[in-house]
Amino acid sequence: MARIDLHLHTTYSDGSLPPAEVVALAHQAGVTAMAITDHDIVDGIPHAMEAASKLGIEIVPGVELSSRHNGQELHVLGYFFDWQEPTFQAHLAQQRLSRHVRNPQTIERLHTLGLELSEDEVKAKAGSDSIGRPHIAQVLVDKGYVSHVQEAFDRYLGEGAAAYVPRTLADTHEVITWIRNAGGVPVLAHPTWTRCQGEPLYRLCAHLKEAGLLGLEVFYGTHTRQQTSRYLELAKRLDLLVTGGSDFHGAANPAIQVGRGKGTLKVPAALLEPLRRAAR
């Protein structure tokens, strides 16, 4: 049975490989359809489409939007939307701007802690318009201030750490509406992030469904078999569409592979058609 991967990052956000290389890895893994879901940016999609057309892989338009809900950061994936729609593109640009405001503040705090790095160095590391903390972390590693990315987050960049600057994020309800208005299917990403399960998670998902959420990311690169079946059950109970993907980032997390996650991931290709039908 064919497999798909609907959660992949490239150099257009915090992944380490350009779209064409991610497509090539997907081809090797036997993936028949895939979505590039870069954070708050869709600019990698045409490049993925070009590479995929030669290999017979379908590219599903995708994106991953950061949002806040009751003080908690939630990620919402969008699929099968009109990625060239100007209003949607303007929302993405606004989202990226909130990172741009945050990055200089983070760098300023690092300066006061005695760590020297410039915004240009971070931009050079990112290589695109979508820059974030992973790129700052990489520069700190390159300069020898920390020995690896995780240490950069633990000591300086993570929530509550010395140089942490909270980001202004759009409300989860808003980002769900943006995706719906662009004709797409909004899906709650990696539900383990919500740090809740059982009835509280049910209530959260029911609430987001009222706001327009249509799917839940049941299959995920790091999910255990138990987590997958629990989320499958939840999606059924709420009549939410089921999606899945590896959340591949490349070198930043080498344990996660395209199409296979930690090795046991297999997102069934049969999930694709219901998703396509739900888009308008």
Of 36, 247, 257, 279, which lies in the binding site for Zn ion, with binding defined by CB under 5 A? 247
63: its two tokens: 């994106």
- In DSSP terms, which residues pair with 242 in a beta bridge? 216
One-letter amino acid identity for 2? A
- The rounded distance, in Å, linking the Cα atoms of 57 and 156 is 40
Any contact of residue 75 with Zn ion (CB under 5 A)?
yes
Judged by DSSP in three states, 124 sits in helix
Q: Output 40 or 247, the one with its CB closest to Zn ion.
A: 247
Segment interacting with Zn ion (CB under 5 A) among 54-62, 75-83, 225-233, 264-272: 75-83
Site string for Zn ion, 155-174 (x = CB under 5 A): --------------------
Tokens 């899906």 sit at which residue? 187
- In DSSP terms, which residues pair with 185 in a beta bridge? 79
Q: In angstroms, what is the minimal distance from the CB of 100 to Zn ion?
A: 20
177: its two tokens: 């509406």
100: its two tokens: 């741009």
Site string for Zn ion, 47-66 (x = CB under 5 A): -----------------x--
Segment interacting with Zn ion (CB under 5 A) among 22-30, 69-77, 145-153, 158-166: 69-77
Q: Are 147 and 55 in contact (CB under 8 A)?
A: no
Q: Output 119 or 228, the one with its CB closest to Zn ion.
A: 228
Residue 168 burial (10 A CB sphere; 0-12, 13-18, 19+): exposed
Site string for Zn ion, 93-132 (x = CB under 5 A): ----------------------------------------
Site string for Zn ion, 248-267 (x = CB under 5 A): --------------------
One-letter amino acid identity for 205? C
Q: Which of 5, 24, 33, 64 is nearest to 265 (CA)?
A: 5
Cβ neighbours for 144, distance < 8 A, ≥ 6 positions apart? none
Size of the site for Zn ion (CB under 5 A): 4
Q: List the interface residues with Zn ion, window 186-205 (CB under 5 A).
A: 189
Q: Output 5 or 247, the one with its CB closest to Zn ion.
A: 247
| Residue-level length of the chain | 280
Q: What is the CA radius of gyration of the chain?
A: 18
Tokens 């569409």 sit at which residue? 241
- In DSSP terms, which residues pair with 3 in a beta bridge? 31, 268
Q: Output 107 or 258, the one with its CB closest to Zn ion.
A: 258
Segment interacting with Zn ion (CB under 5 A) among 22-30, 106-114, 196-204, 242-250: 242-250
Q: Tell me the residue number closest to Zn ion, measured at CB.
A: 75
Segment interacting with Zn ion (CB under 5 A) among 161-169, 172-180, 215-223, 245-253: 245-253
Q: In angstroms, what is the minimal distance from the CB of 134 to Zn ion?
A: 11
Would you tell me which residues interact with Zn ion (CB under 5 A)? 64, 75, 189, 247
